[in-house]
Amino acid sequence: MGRVIVLGSINVDLETKIDSYPNPGEKVVGESLQRYAGGKGANQAVAARARGVEVEMVGAVGDDDAGRASLNRLFAKGIKLRVERIPLVPTGHAIVFSDGRTNAIVVLPGANAKIGPSPLRPIHGLGPDDILLTQLETPADTVVDAVRYATKYGARVVLNLAPFAALPADVIEVADPLVVPAPDLAAFEALGVRPRSLVVLRGKDGLDWDGERISGPVVPAGDVVDTVGATDALIGTLAAELVKGADRHDAAFAALSAAADNVRHHGAQPDPRL
C-alpha cells in the first residue's frame, strides 16, 4: 500500500463564536476564544492518518511556539514530517468566526507562504502507489511544481482547488479527482479544463463525482457543533481510502461519514486544542 503525501498549510486556528456576522462598520461580541490546530494541509493529513495509512506532511512553520506545538501534535499522531522551520516568520494562523451553522475565515499565511521550490524532492520512492494530496493555502507555484513532479513518477494527484485559483491546464488535467466546493463550480468551469475526474462538494447534500450524486449520513441540525474543517476531514479521508484501493463509491461514503463526524466537535481536527 502506498502513502498519502500531503503538501499544504499548517496553521493555528483562533476561533470565536458569534450570534451573527457583523455588517461593515458594525461590532459584535464573541462568546469565547479557542486555540486549535488547523490549516487545510494539516487537517487533511490528520484525517488521512486516522484511516490507518502512512502519511507524510510537507509544509512550513515559523520557528515559534505555535510551530513547535503544531509539529509536536502531528508527530504524536504518527505523521512523518518534512516541514521547514522558517526563522523570523510566524506560523500561519486562521481567524475563524462561527455562528454554529456556518463559518467565515480570515487566513494569515505566515510561513505557509515561504515553502521553498521543489518541495517533493526529499520524498524517496515516490511512485504509482502513492497519492499527492494538496490544496491552495500554500504558494500556487509550489503546488504546480509538486503536481508535475508527482505526475512524473506516476503518483496519483488529489487536488483540492481551495481557496479557488486558476492553475495551469496540465496541472488540473492530471487531478483524479479535482475537488471543488459547489460555490466555485462556475468559476472552475469557466477555465475550460477537464480533470481526470471531478468531485463537487454539496455540503449536507453529499457530493457529485463526475455528475453522480453520492450521499452520506445526515447530521441533525441540533447535533452540529462546528462546521470548520468538515471539508478537510472529507478530503483527507477520501485520499486515504483511495490509496487503500477503495472504489469511488466506498471512498466517497467513508469521506462523507468522516465529515459528518467532524461537525459534532469543536475545531477542525479531533481533540484539536494546542
Q: Which CATH superfamily is domain 3-18+33-262 in?
A: Ribokinase (3.40.1190.20)
Strands ordered across the beta sheet of 34-38:
34-38, 11-17, 92-98, 103-108
| Cβ atoms within 10 Å, residue 203 | 14
User: What is the C-alpha to C-alpha distance for residues 161 and 152, in angstroms, rounded to an integer?
Assistant: 21
Closest to 37 measured CA to CA, from 17, 54, 19, 14:
14
Decide: 226 and 263 in contact? Cβ < 8 Å: yes
Is-catalytic flag, 232?
yes
What pLDDT score does 265 carry? 82
What are the residue ranges in the chain where pLDDT is below 50? none
User: What is the C-alpha to C-alpha distance for residues 64 and 158, in angstroms, rounded to an integer?
Assistant: 31
User: What is the C-alpha to C-alpha distance for residues 130 and 156, in angstroms, rounded to an integer?
Assistant: 6
What pLDDT score does 206 carry? 94
**pLDDT tens readout for residues 55-70:** 999 999 999 999 999 9
Distances (CA, A) of 101 to 20, 94, 220, 228: 10, 18, 12, 10
pTM across the whole model: 0.91
Domain map of the chain by residue range?
3-18+33-262
Q: Which helix (H) or strand (E) holds 206?
A: none
User: What is the C-alpha to C-alpha distance for residues 162 and 95, in angstroms, rounded to an integer?
Assistant: 17
Bridge-based pairing state of the strands 198-201 and 175-181: parallel
Q: Which of the residues 13, 208, 232, 247 is marked catalytic?
A: 232
What pLDDT score does 272 carry? 64
* Cα dihedral across residues 179, 180, 181, 186: positive or negative: negative
